[in-house]
Amino acid sequence: MVLFRLIGLLLITLALMALGSDALRSLESGQVEIRSFAELWALLDKASLDAFLTWVTAHAGAISGPLDTAFSYPAWAVLGVVGIVIAGLIRITRG
């Protein structure tokens, strides 16, 4: 339980960091610049993103469409929602 709570908090922290990064990029350029989740993953490790997308297409083709949609959302939104859901579910199950 503690491990999942820490994972949730870590994802929320990463979401806040991504939001801050987008805010700084927007201030520097003078226009709104929001990095998608796929762009953030590619920035960290492009090869693993390509391998994951290839694996999903080969083994679970039914979710490739919704997954592409989720990857186009802002990185801070994806990380934040997943982190909040994990932390919230652990909180509910713990009582």
The stretch 44-48 carries a mean pLDDT of 96
Q: Are 41 and 70 in contact (CB under 8 A)?
A: no
Q: Hey, how many other C-beta atoms are within 10 angstroms of the C-beta on 71? A: 19
| pLDDT tens by residue, 48-57 | 999 999 999 9
d(C-alpha 71, C-alpha 94), whole Å: 31
Tell me: pLDDT of 38 over 80.
Answer: yes
Nearest to 90 by CA among 37, 12, 14: 12
pLDDT value for 95: 58
d(C-alpha 95, C-alpha 82), whole Å: 20
Q: Are 15 and 79 in contact (CB under 8 A)?
A: yes
Q: Are 35 and 74 in contact (CB under 8 A)?
A: yes
